[in-house]
Amino acid sequence: MIDDLERAIEAMIFASDEPLDARQVAGRLGDQMTPGQVKAIIETIAQRHAGSGIELVERGGHWHFQTPADLAHLLRRERDDPRKLSRAAAEVLAIIAYHEPVSRAEIEAIRGVQTSKGTLDVLMEAEWVMPAGRREVPGRPLIYKTTDAFLQHFGLTSRKDLPGIEDLRAAGLLDPVDLAFEEAMGELDLVKDGEEA
Amino acid sequence: MIDDLERAIEAMIFASDEPLDARQVAGRLGDQMTPGQVKAIIETIAQRHAGSGIELVERGGHWHFQTPADLAHLLRRERDDPRKLSRAAAEVLAIIAYHEPVSRAEIEAIRGVQTSKGTLDVLMEAEWVMPAGRREVPGRPLIYKTTDAFLQHFGLTSRKDLPGIEDLRAAGLLDPVDLAFEEAMGELDLVKDGEEA
Amino acid sequence: MPLDFEIVPAAPEREDALQLSLESWEGPLDLLLALARSQKVDLKQISILALVEQYLTFIAEARELKLEVAADYLVMAAWLAYLKSALLLPKDPLEDPSPDELALRLQLRLQRLAAMRDAAARLLARDRIGRDVFLRAKPEGLRDIKVRRWDASLYDLLAAYGQVKLRAEPVVHMVSRRPVITLDAALHHLQRMLGVKLDWAELADFLPPDYDGPLRRSAIASSFVAALELARQGRVELKQEGAFEPLYLKAAGV
């Protein structure tokens, strides 16, 4: 049987929107008790909850309830949120992979467009890119390189596995993608056939 | 010594900013337990807190911690101003709770006046009432029912806890007037028959 | 409880109080219930006739005082006046519904409204969150934290690099090539065909049949020029009946 005073103090600390000290609790109880007496009761309450899923803790003389730190993982559950890398980010990543180490200004020079800071942040968040010191030129810009996680994700043993420019061209990856042009190519072939006939 | 699972469930319900049901708790624990097993543990926790300054209560299958009502005088502050309901809103709320699901026309038949638009809005804004589909009669009127938040706010474990609902039902006071009228006329006839006999 | 739910002004003792508070009733049924409760008996035992009398008196006095009485109160008054006379007159067994039945219905409605009004009061008197019981003010909350996993394939990477390289290459303007038959091709083709066809043949017959659209037009144009060239060289003869008529050709000296 928990006594009424103890119940009252427990409820008060529970419902309070900020931690309470013994003096505040005594005040709300109409100052029939000294802060010392209140403190003794608070400690009894804390004892009663010890080892449960609820803790009564003191911080700088103020008391509040909280959940034990060792159970934090149950309260904050992590969930995967897969996102597709944007075109811009893929371009920046490719430039870093082919040209590393490379500064942001150099990336922009190669891309021909400004690169937002967010794009590099995304690549660093993905842990595919990391800073690799500074270039010893005026302004000492940060330079970036790819990580081991990058190689792993893309199934590469080393950066040397990246296809060269000629391989890319042969694979058609350097061709302008233009439907009208492709159609014209088809018709030219027809002409050639006609000539041979 | 409180076991780890009990601690975990206690912490979860204590930390949650809304009441949890057994299924939600089981889900967060990685679905190793059935909701039934979880419920048994929750009831153990509720038992442990009974009579203290913090109570674990069930409202519509969801559980939350709250302070006992008998300590209200210590905890009530001037700033605490629970939503004040107009008489009309209180009546409409009671009619929905005791008759649900119920259409606006049925509410008006009981009250004898039109329900102003604001009345239902206030109840829906408080999240005590929600639409529950349409009645399959001509005009397909919307019907309304109460929510879990309604049970929580008014401290009801379930709709069976509505004050006096069994007596009202037994007295036929939840039946429509037409039905009650048929029955009353039947009884009158019986009495007449009795007189004639 | 009074904080939340102020009961209707209970049926007032003094008549003037009744009249002044006309606005505090929500319609005629509400007013009837308040009057019924002033009879201080169970609603089951209420005297409908007395109730009707009270209501009619109330409305009459309100009108005497030139208070605005809403239409639905007057409709109810008219109906109750009819009910009253029907209840007082000798019973006509053929009348349907009978006045007793009408009175019973009114009584049932009043009981139901009273029941819900009591239920509302009991509901609002329960231990309510924020007034009687309190929750944790600042719970930690249960959080689902989304961990972003970026996804891209090697193909995406290489295709992106290809695009960068293309953009970076010096811009080369390429006039898109239309499907054409060159003069050389037409000459070559015509000469071979002339070796096969011996008699006069229309120029169009020298064209491969599967040429159509712009390609056919190009073939006609270049074949025509080729025919003129061959005629200039004396290797082909041309004839045409008139302007825009078909052009015929055959190998010279055959």
Helix (H), strand (E), coil (C) string for A125-165: HCCCEEEEEECCCCCCCEEEEECHHHHHHCCCCCHHHCCCH
Q: How far is C2 from chain A (nearest CA, A)?
A: 25
Judge: C146–A87 Cβ closer than 8 Å, yes or no: no
Of A54-58, A81-85, C1-5, the range with the highest mean pLDDT is A54-58
- Region A91-120: mean pLDDT is 88
Tell me which amino acid residue A60 is: G
Q: How far is A36 from chain C (nearest CA, A)?
A: 25
C76 to A86, B12, C53, C110: CA distances (angstroms): 71, 58, 12, 14
- Region A97-118: mean pLDDT is 87
A 53-112 → B contacts, CB under 8 A: 53-54, 65, 67-68, 71, 74-75, 77
pLDDT at B79: 57
> Which residues of chain B make contact with A48, given a CB cutoff of 8 A?
52
- Tell the residue number behind the tokens 């049925």, with chain if given: B106
The rounded radius of gyration (Å) of the Cα atoms in chain C is 53
Residues 6+ apart with CB under 8 A from B147: B127, B128, B129, B130
What is the pLDDT confidence band of residue A179, given thresholds at 50, 70 and 90? Answer: very low
Confidence check on the interface: ipTM exceeds 0.90, yes or no: no
User: Which tokens belong to A134?
Assistant: 């500074």
> Which residues of chain C make contact with B16, given a CB cutoff of 8 A?
139, 141-142
CA distance B135 to A55: 50
- Region C113-142: mean pLDDT is 91
Judge whether residue B52 has pLDDT over 70. yes
Task: Give tens-digit pLDDT for A13-23.
Answer: 999 988 999 99
pLDDT at B2: 83
Q: Tell me which of A64, A81, A114 to substitute to probe the interface with C (most C C-beta atoms closer than 10 Å).
A: A81
C50 to C11, C37, C102: CA distances (angstroms): 14, 12, 15
**Residue with more model confidence, A165 or A124:** A124
CA distance A96 to A88: 12
pLDDT at A49: 95
**Residue with more model confidence, C43 or B10:** B10
Contact B106, B100 (CB under 8 A): no
Contact B26, B9 (CB under 8 A): no
> Which residues of chain B make contact with C72, given a CB cutoff of 8 A?
113
C147 to A150, B191, C37: CA distances (angstroms): 18, 76, 65
Cβ atoms within 10 A of the Cβ of B48, count?
Answer: 15
* Full strand arrangement of the beta sheet holding A102-103: A102-103, A142-146, A129-134
Residues 6+ apart with CB under 8 A from B156: B59, B60, B150, B162, C126
What is the pLDDT confidence band of residue C218, given thresholds at 50, 70 and 90? Answer: confident
C224 to C204, C239, C241: CA distances (angstroms): 9, 12, 16
State the average pLDDT for chain C: 80
Judge: B75–C134 Cβ closer than 8 Å, yes or no: yes
What is the pLDDT confidence band of residue C203, given thresholds at 50, 70 and 90? Answer: confident
Which subunits have 3 or more CB–CB pairs within 8 Å of chain A? Answer: B, C
What is the pLDDT confidence band of residue C37, given thresholds at 50, 70 and 90? Answer: confident
Q: How far is B136 from chain C (nearest CA, A)?
A: 25
Least confident of B22-26, B56-60, C108-112, C202-206: C202-206
Contact A8, A33 (CB under 8 A): no
Task: Give tens-digit pLDDT for C49-93.
Answer: 999 999 999 888 888 887 778 888 989 999 999 998 888 888 777
Q: How far is C147 from chain A (nearest CA, A)?
A: 5
User: What three-state secondary structure class fits A83?
Assistant: strand
Judge: B17–C141 Cβ closer than 8 Å, yes or no: yes
pLDDT at A176: 55
Judge: C29–B162 Cβ closer than 8 Å, yes or no: no
Is the pTM of the predicted complex or chain greater than 0.80? no
What is the pLDDT confidence band of residue A155, given thresholds at 50, 70 and 90? Answer: confident
DSSP state of C129: B
pLDDT at C2: 32
